[in-house]
Chains A and B, each alone.
Chain A
Amino acid sequence: MFRNVLGKTFRFLGYTVQYGCIAHCAFEYLGGIVVCSGPSMEPTIQNSDIVFSENLSRHLYCIRKGDIVIVKSPNDPKSNICKRVIGLEGDKVCTSNPSDFLKSHSYVPKGHVWLEGDNLRNSTDSRCYGPVPYGLIRGRICFKVSLMLS
């Protein structure tokens, strides 16, 4: 009786570990559903939109200019941010605010990317914390899941 319960517990743990590992591999190397919050990517992505992010591009190093990416926050590694890639390494980017009279430019250093939100007026991005290392990129957003509510 006790052995039966023990056997069932071990089998349950075994299945949990197995499905947990499959879930980790799927999210790490293929992709997953992500919920975005915040106004910095409006109108492309609204607050609490559900998007699908594919995580294969970052392993193959084929993130392009104009992609929307999910990145680990440079100042807080436990949170993620969602922005658009404006410049890759070597590109010339404008670092000044749109309201400034004198524009300043700089080049994105090697191994880094320049991120900006689509809602430029309400977005803390590379204009605030500088170029972001490529190694912090988690995945690339490929499409938005829109739910039809009747």
Chain B
Amino acid sequence: MAQAQGFGRRYIKAFLKGFFVAIPVTVTFLDRVACVARVEGASMQPSLNPGGRQASDVVLLNHWSIRNYDVQRGDIVSLVSPRNPEQKIIKRVIALEGDIIKTIGYKKKYVKIPHGHIWVEGDHHGHSFDSNAFGPVSLGLLHARATHILWPPQRWQKLQSMLPPERKPLQREQE
């Protein structure tokens, strides 16, 4: 009888320890440090998802590197969609605040990026719902930077921060 009580108490103690230690630490890690996500759609072809629906890439998302909203032109980032807050989109940063760029299909031909905003585009122009549709996005919507492709194993690689030469800004903000 005493032994069963001892086991019950140990079980409760282990359960509470797990609840108050493991869950907050895991949740904080996934929210603040890094997490993993599967990419869907063709908007970033050929960099991500070149195989289409058959083989979706799984990428490593790094929250820690953007904790100060420090992004560079050419980074692949994930952000909360301005049109649908329940969805995250993954695109490449083309221009930072103060840059003047030429747009592809936006309502204005030349745009100066306002303070605190960035311009994102998918690599697959024409098949991408990006800043050419909804304009500059606020830096506050930034979610994470995609650093590596983790799956499938034959596509294991570090994602390069590369700005396509034809999408370079016409005028950069002077530091």
Contacts and interface: CB of A to CB of B under 8 A. Distances in A.
Interface of A: 17-18, 20-22, 24-25, 28, 61, 72-78, 109-112, 133-136
Main SS of the interface on chain A? mixed
A76 B31 CA distance: 21
Nearest to B27: A25
19 contacts: A18-B25, A21-B27, A24-B24, A24-B28, A24-B32, A25-B23, A25-B24, A28-B31, A72-B140, A74-B140, A75-B114, A75-B115, A77-B116, A77-B139, A109-B83, A110-B83, A133-B137, A133-B138, A135-B82
| 5 closest A-B pairs by CB | A135-B80, A72-B140, A77-B140, A21-B28, A75-B116
Contacts of A112: 82
B46 to A, nearest CB: 28
B5 interface: no
Q: What secondary structure prevails in chain B residues at the interface with A? A: mixed
Contacts of A77: 69, 116, 138-140, 142
A18 B139 CA distance: 30
